[in-house]
């Protein structure tokens, strides 16, 4: 299918290839001290491991759960300058500020060749910290999201130490599916040098990838249980149906609902309750998945089975807003979004009297950016489909379908990568 970009009549796309500025030291201080101020009243602990004597340049990889990750990152790296890879919507209405902070702009799940050049500039010309959130979005179920294949290669090429900032509690405090109602949870962050410059030199890309995968492995519900953290807020399961969209009892999709501490399937009526330690229990009959990430993984396996059987297909009308440049979202109106094993994601619509068609074939995207309650636009579920110079935020008409769509994008990429010819 042919890619036809949206016609904007003279609007220039934001240039994501511009090289990052070196972060001015006063900003480093404002960020470090401001972040401490923002954390007043929130209990947190930061532990540094194998960090003695380590000075920039180094690559900092962090897991991503909520905005508080940034405060903890600036506290952990203070007083050193940090250049962070950020996404275009982080630039919304403040591109100058983001540029001054030394951020590097990227559109989600796109290939950006200029990024490697920017990375090299930060590490080898400025001698500063390069910070990346390789999951590229907030963790949906409190476990590690997908990591890009290119990460270990990038590390190997740069020949600098790698530090992993692993946050715990941030997801439980403000889960992606209900970040507007924070819970009382203590935060704990480790900052670990996982690879010295010499280790990067000595190890193969495969060995580096394995080390990074292990260092970035986390499961917030396991951590909650091990630490005995009780979340007593009565609304603790509200919003959980956004990630647990399929009923394991009757198999119905997009019919789950949540209220208070309970999750219910509107199709068969089965109800589960979330206890204070984050475990689920069926009110009647068998508890299929007491551990939330297991339920989440089961849904993924269902999507994968549909893809393997050739029965998977997604099609819906979507309302589209675009962020071609960071000053304003443009309302593009209704369009048609389809996803299948042959063409991948295809978005077809019309704007300014001209048709557009955005195609992202299966192997061009290893993940999909999902928002459950998007703070910049309508507070509802949407997906962001980006190209190198545009980002299209699509709100499906059908409720609670975006998590499945993100599984399908990931699983289709994996399947096509493994055996491109045999997939139906």
Contacts with Zn ion, residue ranges (CB under 5 A): 247, 249-250, 252, 265, 267-268
Interatomic CA distance for residues 391 and 30, integer angstroms: 31
Contact 242, 372 (CB under 8 A): yes
Give the whole-angstrom CA distance, residue 99 versus residue 102: 5
Q: Which two structure tokens, joined as six digits, stand for 180?
A: 């507007």
Q: Pick the closer one to Zn ion by CB: 88 or 240.
A: 240
Residue 393 in tokens: 């935020």
Helix or strand holding residue 224 (H, E): helix 220-227
DSSP secondary structure code for residue 174 in this structure: S
Question: In the complex, what is the shortest distance from the CB of residue 245 to Zn ion, in angstroms, rounded to a whole number?
Answer: 11
Give whichever of 295 and 366 is closer to Zn ion, judged by the CB atom: 295
**266 or 363: CB nearest Zn ion:** 266
The token pair at 240 is 């959980």
The C-alpha atoms of residue 337 and residue 234 are separated, in whole angstroms, by 37
**Cβ closest to Zn ion, residue 190 vs residue 254:** 254
Range list of H helices, 44-203? 68-77, 95-100, 114-120, 150-158, 170-173, 197-202
Distance from C-alpha of 87 to C-alpha of 69, rounded to nearest angstrom? 15
- Report, in Å, the least distance between residue 274 CB and Zn ion: 17
Nearest distance from C-beta of residue 263 to Zn ion, angstroms: 11
User: Distance (Å, rounded) from C-alpha 414 to C-alpha 407?
Assistant: 11
Minimum distance from CB of 278 to Zn ion (Å)? 22
Minimum gap (Å) between residue 265 Cβ and Zn ion:
3
- 370 DSSP β-pair partners: 383
Nearer to Zn ion, 109 or 245 (CB): 245
Give me the sign of the Cα torsion angle 261, 265, 271, 274.
negative
Pick the closest to residue 106 from 69, 76, 140, 150 (CA basis): 150
- Given the complex with Zn ion, which of 267 and 377 has the nearer CB atom? 267
We find the least distance from the C-beta atom of residue 246 to Zn ion, in angstroms, to be 9
Name the minimum Å distance from CB 299 to Zn ion: 13
Q: Which of 250, 283 has the CB closer to Zn ion?
A: 250
CA angle 257, 263, 269 (to 5 degrees): 75
Least Å distance, CB 206 to Zn ion, is 42
Tokens of 101: 């902070």
Measured from the CB atom, the residue of 73 and 264 that comes closer to Zn ion is 264
């Amino acid at each position: 299918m042919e890619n036809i970009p949206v016609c904007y009549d003279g609007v220039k796309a934001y240039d994501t290839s511009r090289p990052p500025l070196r972060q001015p030291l006063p900003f480093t201080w404002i960020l470090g001290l401001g972040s401490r101020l923002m954390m007043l009243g929130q209990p947190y602990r930061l532990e540094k491991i194998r960090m003695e004597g380590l000075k920039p340049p180094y690559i900092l990889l962090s897991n991503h759960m909520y905005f508080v990750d940034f405060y903890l990152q600036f506290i952990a790296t203070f007083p050193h300058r940090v250049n962070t890879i950020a996404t275009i919507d982080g630039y919304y209405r403040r591109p100058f500020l983001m540029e001054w902070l030394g951020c590097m702009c990227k559109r989600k799940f796109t290939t950006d060749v200029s990024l490697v050049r920017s990375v090299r500039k930060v590490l080898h010309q400025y001698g500063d910290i390069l910070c990346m959130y390789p999951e590229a979005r907030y963790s949906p179920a409190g476990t590690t999201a997908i990591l890009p294949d290119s990460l270990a290669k990038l590390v190997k090429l740069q020949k600098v130490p790698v530090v992993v900032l692993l946050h715990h509690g941030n997801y439980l405090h403000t889960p992606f599916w209900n970040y507007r109602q924070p819970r009382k949870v203590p935060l704990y962050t480790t900052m670990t040098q996982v690879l010295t410059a010499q280790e990067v030199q000595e190890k193969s890309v495969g060995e580096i990838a394995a080390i990074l995968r292990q260092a970035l492995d986390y499961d917030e519900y396991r951590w909650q249980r091990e630490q005995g953290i009780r979340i007593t807020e009565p609304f603790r399961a509200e919003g959980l149906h956004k990630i647990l969209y399929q009923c394991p009892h009757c198999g119905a999709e997009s019919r789950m609902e949540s209220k208070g501490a309970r999750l219910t399937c509107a199709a068969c009526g089965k109800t589960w309750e979330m206890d204070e330690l984050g475990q689920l229990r069926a009110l009647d009959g068998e508890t299929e998945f007491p551990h939330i990430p297991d339920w989440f993984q089961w849904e993924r396996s269902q999507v994968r089975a549909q893809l393997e059987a050739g029965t998977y297909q997604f099609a819906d009308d979507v309302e589209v807003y675009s962020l071609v440049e960071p000053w304003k979202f443009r309302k593009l109106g209704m369009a048609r979004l389809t996803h299948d094993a042959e063409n991948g994601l295809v978005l077809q619509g019309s704007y300014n009297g001209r048709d557009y068609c955005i195609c992202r074939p299966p192997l061009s995207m290893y993940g999909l950016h999902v928002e459950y309650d998007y703070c910049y636009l309508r507070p509802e579920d949407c997906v962001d489909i980006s190209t190198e110079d545009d980002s299209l935020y699509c709100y499906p008409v059908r409720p609670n379908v975006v998590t499945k769509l993100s599984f399908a994008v990931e699983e289709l990429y994996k399947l096509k990568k493994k055996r491109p010819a045999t997939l139906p």
